Amino acid sequence: MATAERSDVLLVGNPNSGKSLLFSRLTGLKQKVANYPGVTVEVRSGSALGLTLLDFPGIYSLEPLTGDERVAIARLENALESPATHGIVCVLDATRLERSLYLLLELVTRARAAGVPLLAAVNIIDEVVSRGARVDVQGLERAVGCDVVAVSAKTGEGLDRLRAVLDRWHGRLPPHPPAPAPPPSTVEERRALAARLARAHGPSADVLLRSQERLDRLFLSPWLGIPLFAVVMTVLFQAIFTWAAPAMALVRRAVEVSGAWTSGWLPPGVARDFVRDGLFAGVGSFLVFVPQIFILFVVIGVLEDSGYLARAAIILHRPLGWFGLSGRSFLPLLSGHACAIPAMMAARTIESPRRRLLTVLVIPFMSCSARLPIYALIIGGFVPAHTVLWGTVGLQGLAFTGIYAFGIVAALLSSAVLSRATRGREGALADAPFVVELPPYRVPGVRPILLAASSRSSSFVRRAAPVIFCVVVVVWMLGYFPKGAGHLAESWLAWTGRWIEPVFRPMGADWTSAVAILTSFVAREVFVGTLGTLHGLEDAGQHLSALSTRLQSSGMGLPAALALLVFYALSLQCASTLAVMRKETGSGRIPVFAFLGMTTLAYTGAVVTYQVARALGA
């Protein structure tokens, strides 16, 4: 049979079966990254051995329960029917064979009906072997009637055998092995067969559960569970601010050096002024924060891969319930600290439609990485870089924790208000219930986490950079003309800024901040770029220095700085968030409501902060 059009291989498996890691192993860097950073909610594709691997979101069975499963399974059903489909790789978790076999048995029936070859990859075999147990691959092959390969995506063991099977498919479709027995057709029959097969051919499950129990005794302990959660969150935020500092300084230096070097080559004139003051000061001041965004993705990756995320969801289920949310809202809300867009998509995993809508509505309150540059700029400029507690905790890190906590509190209170204001609670039974699997604790691999974090952050930069560049060009032109460099106060921009200044005066913003706020309604990350360009213009001719130092010398006081922080913490300034919110909720009114509500809240909050801080003499 021709192979040209049959080139898709579907990668299917349970959640936490190491499927995404296997996908990365097989495709290497030749993969199209999910549209947005965050957990797998999209079908990723990558090439290996001349085939296209499609990585489907993790599922427990082919019968959907939640919205995200419905999407995933509908896509999978389509792919099964598609003439482009070349084969299916079902990823099994060797440490939880019974549960994995259930899905495999369902797939066997479908694959036979569709005439598509099926391969079962028994993943995480290294953990089974290290405990002195084994999986009887030949026995499973005979019993299930499909190719079975034991692999470890972590160590790379068995991947050659897996590739060999894919390669065999490549030449011609192998005939189906004879069916050992009529396949089970009900949930109970399938479950019973899975249990029998797991007992006959797999390792003893209890050994593995017992080792995860030891750690759960600690992390889910009634006394230590909460303090440990607090420690994990504190380390997360310290990592983002304090530990990222050296990397950020390095990038800042690189931007300065390359800016000076490039503008040295250009003849004096408009082009040189633009490159130095517009391009390097504007776009460069955003690039400085990329290391921080990268570290955030590393931390989220560690939480996901270590297995702690599920524990956090369970710990938080009850408290989040008080605000109308679910334990599963934790991951979307946490991802919201990186970017609201993947966070809203991750909210698809929330079992109940009502809790999901509330989560989507309040995600924009989370301090996303686009706000990070703004916070870092203001905190870096106005909070002293002292350390407390024997030099381990920085004051700036504490300020960061504070502003993040402020966003979280705003989200929870808004959710509670909206939950009470809309119809009364429907209860878990009318809605989809909260059922969460506790995966084993694992030491996360350094390489996969770094790979994922770098692809996530580069996709973020690729998405943000063009917008920032365009805004920077416009801002620079408005600020440069008609009089040229060094005459910012007489530029078109100054004229516009002074015209809108009265609106922002009550929150203490001068005209430069007013212009920056206005431009950042397209996307917040533009704020720093705009200010960088504005101050780059003002100091034209001098060499680049830290923007935060300039802000201090521009006469901005602590009350105005605090007001700006509050404004950015509460406002929804992101065109893409609104677009995705519309798509995810299927309603045009919801994003409008969210935008108006949050902007009003942000403005009011900023004005109150400024006035109160000034009255207190800060």
* Interface residues toward other proteins, by CB under 8 A: 60-61, 63-65, 95-99, 102, 187-188, 191, 195, 198, 205-206, 208-210, 212-213, 216-217, 220-223, 225-226, 310, 314-319, 327, 427-429, 432-438
- Closer to other proteins by CB, 206 or 265: give it: 206
- Closer to other proteins by CB, 133 or 159: give it: 133
- Closer to other proteins by CB, 64 or 139: give it: 64
Output the smallest distance, CB 430 to other proteins, in A. 8
Output the smallest distance, CB 171 to other proteins, in A. 36
Tokens 């097989």 belong to: 26
Output the smallest distance, CB 224 to other proteins, in A. 9
Structure tokens, 615: 């009255």
- Closer to other proteins by CB, 70 or 172: give it: 70
Bond into 57 cis (ω within 30)? no
- Closer to other proteins by CB, 98 or 501: give it: 98
How far is Cα 565 from Cα 350, in angstroms, rounded to an integer?
31
List CB contacts of 63: < 8 A, sequence separation 6 or more: 73
Output the smallest distance, CB 152 to other proteins, in A. 19
Render the burial of 419-442: b for 16+ CB within 10 Å, e for the rest. Answer: beeeeeeeeeeebbebebebbbbb
Output the smallest distance, CB 325 to other proteins, in A. 13
- Closer to other proteins by CB, 160 or 213: give it: 213
How far is Cα 264 from Cα 544, in angstroms, rounded to an integer?
13
- Closer to other proteins by CB, 124 or 449: give it: 124
Angle CA 292–527–277, to nearest 5 = 95
- Please give the full DSSP string across 128-180, using - where no structure is assigned: HHHTT----HHHHIIIIISEEEE--TTT-TTHHHHHHHHHHHHHSPPPPPPPS
How far is Cα 121 from Cα 457, in angstroms, rounded to an integer?
30
Output the smallest distance, CB 107 to other proteins, in A. 14
CB–CB of 434/428 below 8 Å?
Answer: yes
E strand or H helix that includes residue 55: strand 51-55
Beta-carbon count within 10 A of 200 CB: 11
- Closer to other proteins by CB, 159 or 205: give it: 205
Look up residue 37 and give its DSSP letter: S
Output the smallest distance, CB 159 to other proteins, in A. 25
Indicate the burial class of 257 (C-beta count within 10 angstroms; 0-12, 13-18, 19 or more).
exposed
How far is Cα 331 from Cα 300, in angstroms, rounded to an integer?
9
Output the smallest distance, CB 378 to other proteins, in A. 34
| 3 state SS of 288 | coil
List CB contacts of 9: < 8 A, sequence separation 6 or more: 51, 52, 53, 54, 85, 86, 87, 88, 89, 166, 169
Indicate the burial class of 220 (C-beta count within 10 angstroms; 0-12, 13-18, 19 or more).
middle
Output the smallest distance, CB 303 to other proteins, in A. 17
Look up residue 540 and give its DSSP letter: T
The CA-atom distances, in angstroms, between 63 and each of 59, 60, 69, 79 are 9, 8, 8, 16
Output the smallest distance, CB 225 to other proteins, in A. 4
- Closer to other proteins by CB, 203 or 301: give it: 203
How far is Cα 615 from Cα 618, in angstroms, rounded to an integer?
8
Output the smallest distance, CB 208 to other proteins, in A. 7
- Closer to other proteins by CB, 141 or 216: give it: 216
Output the smallest distance, CB 308 to other proteins, in A. 13
- Closer to other proteins by CB, 82 or 211: give it: 211
How far is Cα 161 from Cα 109, in angstroms, rounded to an integer?
24
Structure tokens, 106: 């369902």
Output the smallest distance, CB 618 to other proteins, in A. 36
Output the smallest distance, CB 426 to other proteins, in A. 11
- Closer to other proteins by CB, 9 or 122: give it: 122
List CB contacts of 205: < 8 A, sequence separation 6 or more: 95, 96, 97, 98, 198
The CA-atom distances, in angstroms, between 320 and each of 27, 307, 324, 352, 419 are 38, 20, 7, 14, 12
- Closer to other proteins by CB, 17 or 367: give it: 17
- Closer to other proteins by CB, 318 or 423: give it: 318
